[in-house]
Amino acid sequence: MQTYLVLSFLNPSVLWGLLAISIPIIIHLFNLRRVKKVEFSNIALLKRVKEETSAKKKPIELLILLARILFVSFLVMAFAQPLSKDEDNALELNENVLIYLDNSLSMQKAVGAQMSAFDRAFAYANVIVDAYPDNAKFKFIENNYSNSLVVNYSKETIKDRLTELEFSAVSRSIPEIQKRLANSQFNGDIYLISDFQKSGDPSLASMSADTTNSYYLVPIDSEQAGNLYFDSAYLENSFLLGELKNELRVSVKNDGDQAIDDVNLRLFFDNQLTSTALVDLEANGSLVHSFEIDRDAVGLDRVRVTLEDAQVDFDNQLYLTLNNIEKIDVFEIREAGSGAYVSQLYGENELFNFQSFNTGNIDLNQFAAADLIILNEVSDFSNQLTAAINDFLEADGSVLIIPSRNLAASNYSNFGLRVTDDSRQRVQLSTPDLNNPFFAGVFEEDARNISMPEATTSLRLRNQELSLLDFKNGRSFLSKATTEGNLYFFSSSFETGMTSFPNHSVFVPVMYKLALGSKVNLSRLYYSTNNETIVYPTDNAVSGEVVSLKKDEVEITPDQRFSGSNLILEIPKDEIGPGHFDVNVSSAQLGVIAFNLPKEESGGEKFSSEELSLLAQADHISMIEANDAVGVDREITAGIKGVGLWRYALLLALLFLFVEIILIRYL
């Protein structure tokens, strides 16, 4: 691709001086020198000499004229101060300048033997400042938003501000930066110095739309081969309590192009080492390692997992909290004579708040507080009960129907179910599908040879979404319906003689799973530092109290409000950092919340050079690509500031003046 140069002038009005070229032309056309008359007796010889001399003198006079014209021309251009710029980036410097320097933790990655990406970004910023005149006004943004955009910096004060900059646990996307700029109504040159990770909102379309500013993208490319980091962590079962087997599963990722062996993982409960493991990771691969949770362990509200990675250490720790789990509210609606299996299972259990209502004495106002409602062999649904159940399902609630032998199949249509009578055969259930996530953690050994219970095929659900337990003839025994909310349906009553399921060992884990799945675990294992909102379950007794988050000497009182028994916190991302924070109210502690850095900071997904170059095709967007500060200075000088040519113009003017003197003196 051929590159052209664009010539511009700092003082273009001086070019009017080129009119002075007419002076040597006039002198040439009207030679004002006097002619001295000399009389000779015979001029024949002189006539021949004159003709020969005139023939030689005419081209010399033209050369003298050309030298004078060029002298005047280059002298005028020297005072006009010509600039040479690349055609692809022929822009002008603005007196208003804004510099965004990315100081997120990902900028710790190496770009050389003794230099980090942040060090290089700092050097680039200083070069950019030096490129502007002394009267330029600078504004500055970094990830913590620690200074106001109302403040103007001079060249000296902006350099002092840059030297004070430290790493921040806050990551900002380019759209976030633009939003802050839009609020400040800034107009001028904007330099974005960053590694351009695809964090948060990865779209850069808003930059293309903002034609009122000139954008300069200054990418920092890391030379680091890869990074090890924690990608995620989760419990095998959503709830830590209960008799179900449970494990903490930690996903570790290697985004480098080389395999890494013997990575040391360590698990801490309240700073006490509990377990270790050595794992091997393939190039650009990941693995999930499981730590078994000891039921008698203490310090589960402050869990920390670490890994050894010598290249980058900011993301080598993962903070978790495991014990912020509230009980599950299970409501049973039953008729006199219904089986006692449900109350025996959920009553007086550390996992559940269980209440049982008779169909003749139901407080429908309490339904909103339930997590799971079980309709246990109810044979008569009043209009009020039907409406309350449907409202509960519309609010994404969970309902389990154990059908009554005395209720016609068509009556279930009031809940959106399409139920028909079945063959009423006695059939054994099939073994559960262990690949179904519903049964994760239920069976410690292979369940393919387990002896399953029997049941009578009384009813058949036609609009099922998912079958959880099947008969051996392929019909569904327990299924989830395609209705609003989460509606589960057994195809057989639990009455004696209809099924042996309530007396079988599989009954307890299946019913536990239905209840556990009905509760959205609002107390997550961890939150990201860029999560704007946290929903934290509390006791209604603290409603109206002011809640604060505290870690060591740092105490934050976020914007907050209560919604029922849930506390909704608006987290200030520029103040929060990784670690465990106590949730305090007055002098009491409600619990602990764990925060970790966004995974985008650790991962290597960035905007490629091609993507940024495509964006830079817009007239108001340019990209400065360089490997060092000298390269940035060269790019700014050649394409934006311009290369000053006045020295060369002055030298050429003096050269042609010297040529004129030589022509007059010696020729």
Query: What's the pLDDT score for residue 647?
Result: 76
Query: What's the pLDDT score for residue 52?
Result: 53
Q: What does the DSSP assignment read for 494-508?
A: -STTTBSGGGSTTHH
pLDDT band for position 2 (50/70/90)?
Answer: very low
Residue with more model confidence, 653 or 279:
279
pLDDT at residue 521 is higher than 60: no
pLDDT at residue 89 is higher than 60: no
| pLDDT over 70 percentage in the chain | 82
| Lowest mean pLDDT segment, chosen from 116-130, 200-214, 319-333, 374-388 | 200-214
pLDDT at residue 634 is higher than 80: no
CA gap 138, 116 in Å, rounded: 25
pLDDT at residue 338 is higher than 60: yes
228-235+245-321, CATH topology level: Immunoglobulin-like (2.60.40)
The whole-chain average pLDDT of the chain stands at: 81
pLDDT at residue 323 is higher than 70: no
Query: What's the pLDDT score for residue 3?
Result: 45
- Name the pTM for this structure: 0.62
Residue with more model confidence, 33 or 473:
473
The CATH class that applies to domain 91-224+606-644 reads alpha beta
Q: Which long-range contacts (CB under 8 A, 24 or more apart) does 36-45 make?
A: none
Closest CA to 500 of 484, 475, 477: 477
Mean pLDDT computed over 495-510 = 90
- Burial pattern 644-653, b for ≥16 Cβ within 10 A else e, equals ebbeebeebb
Query: What's the pLDDT score for residue 12?
Result: 74
- Encode pLDDT of 297-319 as tens digits: 788 889 999 998 766 778 889 99
567 and 536 Cβ atoms separated by less than 8 Å: yes
Q: What separation in angstroms does the CA of 548 have from each of 146, 381, 460, 575, 579? A: 22, 47, 53, 13, 15
Please report, for the chain, how many H helices and E strands are present, in that order.
Answer: 13, 34
Query: What's the pLDDT score for residue 488?
Result: 96
Decide whether 91-224+606-644 matches 328-517 in CATH topology. Answer: yes
Q: Which CATH architecture has domain 527-596?
A: Sandwich (2.60)
Query: What's the pLDDT score for residue 660?
Result: 79
- Burial pattern 317-332, b for ≥16 Cβ within 10 A else e, equals bbbbbbbbbbebbbbb
Query: What's the pLDDT score for residue 1?
Result: 38
- Encode pLDDT of 29-67 as tens digits: 766 454 556 665 666 555 555 555 555 566 777 788 888
Query: What's the pLDDT score for residue 209?
Result: 82
- Encode pLDDT of 400-435 as tens digits: 999 998 899 999 999 999 999 998 999 999 988 877
Query: What's the pLDDT score for residue 201?
Result: 58
Token digits for 269?
Answer: 């409960």
Amino acid at 459: L
- Give 190: exposed, middle or buried? Use CB within 10 Å, 0-12, 13-18, 19+: buried
567 and 560 Cβ atoms separated by less than 8 Å: yes
pLDDT at residue 126 is higher than 70: yes
Query: What's the pLDDT score for residue 520?
Result: 56
CA gap 601, 528 in Å, rounded: 11
The three-point CA angle 458-460-464 to 5° equals 150
Mean pLDDT computed over 360-375 = 87
Domain spans of the chain, in order of start: 5-88+645-666, 91-224+606-644, 228-235+245-321, 328-517, 527-596
pLDDT band for position 73 (50/70/90)?
Answer: confident
pLDDT at residue 238 is higher than 70: no
pLDDT at residue 332 is higher than 70: yes
pLDDT at residue 465 is higher than 80: yes
| Lowest mean pLDDT segment, chosen from 1-10, 475-484, 631-640 | 1-10
CATH 3.40.50.880 fits 328-517, yes or no: yes
371 and 328 Cβ atoms separated by less than 8 Å: yes
635 and 205 Cβ atoms separated by less than 8 Å: no
pLDDT band for position 90 (50/70/90)?
Answer: very low
Q: What separation in angstroms does the CA of 40 have from each of 34, 53, 54? A: 19, 18, 20
Mean pLDDT computed over 548-561 = 89
Query: What's the pLDDT score for residue 43?
Result: 61
CA gap 111, 179 in Å, rounded: 30
Mean pLDDT computed over 451-473 = 92
- Encode pLDDT of 257-267 as tens digits: 888 888 999 99
Q: What are the percentages of helix, strand and coil residues in the chain, rounded to 5? A: 30, 30, 40
